[in-house]
Amino acid sequence: MNLRSILELDARLSDKMRVAEKPGALRSLAVFFAHSGDSWFWGAALILLWFFSNSIWKRWEAVEFAAISVLAALVMAIKFLVRRRRPEGEWGGIYRNTDPHSFPSGHAARAFLIAVIGAALGPAWLGILLWVWAPLVALARVAMGVHYLSDVMAGAALGIVVALAGLQVYGALFAWLTAWLGFSLW
């Protein structure tokens, strides 16, 4: 199987999952989940939550915000290197106009990164909730026709890898700061 046949299979499978042009409850759910991973929403929510939360939540919010920022730059760099066009369609004009490239899915990457960090630093219920939510975001992006299945699979893998690396950096930085300051910031 060559690359061309793999991409054709990817396009066929993605098209079978598509609900963007089919009115109804499934489409409405897909629209909700497709938007729930928007970067502006997560950035604004994390900043707003910072002002109303305690130190345990502030730690989670700060790590999520920093990791999302690093991930965004990495996703954009890969998109401009690969330059895979999004699937044809009408829905998601803002995504199509501001970012015509689909590989990898930034929404899927962000959702899985958020889930990994939430499971590592948050309470168990948050980790479970985010691990249910992340695949729904990824599948909704395909269902709404702004990504191919391989885009969201690559995005999910990238988000998980960046989150795990970020948690390692966070752990080392936290230990160093605690030792240097003589007390914990959190």
* Residues pairing with 85 in the sheet: 101
pTM: 0.87
Confidence at residue 179, expressed as pLDDT on a 0 to 100 scale: 61
Whether 136 shows a pLDDT value over 90: the answer reads yes
What's the pLDDT band for 38 if we cut at 50, 70, 90?
Answer: confident
Determine contact, residues 14/148, Cβ cutoff 8 Å.
yes
Mean pLDDT of 42-70: 85
- What is the pLDDT, as a whole number, of residue 148? 94
Q: In angstroms, rounded to a whole number, what is the distance separating the alpha carbons of residues 31 and 160? A: 24
Task: In whole angstroms, give the CA distance from residue 109 to residue 121.
Answer: 18
Task: Tell me the mean pLDDT in the region 53-60.
Answer: 80
Q: Which domain holds residue 157?
A: 54-186
In a domain, 1, yes or no: no
Q: Is residue 28 part of a domain?
A: no
Q: Is residue 135 part of a domain?
A: yes
Residue 107's pLDDT band (cuts 50, 70, 90): very high
On whether the CB atoms of residues 119 and 131 are closer than 8 A, the answer is yes
Asked if the structure places residue 154 within a domain, the reply is: yes
Residue 173, pLDDT above cutoff 70: no
Q: Is residue 186 over pLDDT 60?
A: no
The whole-number pLDDT of residue 118 equals: 92
Give CA–CA dist 49/119, Å, rounded. 18
Q: Which of 97, 89, 75, 83 is nearest to 141 (CA)?
A: 89
3-state secondary structure of 83: coil
Distance of CA 28 to the CA centre of its chain: 20
Secondary element (H or E) of residue 106 = helix 106-121
Average pLDDT over residues 119-136: 94
Q: How many domains does the chain have?
A: 1
Asked if 110 and 98 count as a contact pair (C-beta separation under 8 A), the reply is no
Tell me how far apart the alpha carbons of residues 84 and 107 are, in angstroms, rounded to a whole number.
16
Of the segments 9-23, 82-96, 107-121, which one has the largest average pLDDT value? 107-121
Domain presence at residue 181: yes
Q: d(Cα 159, Cα 123) in Å, to the nearest integer? A: 20
HSE at residue 113, side-chain half, CA atoms within 13 A, is: 33
Q: What is the mean pLDDT of the chain?
A: 87
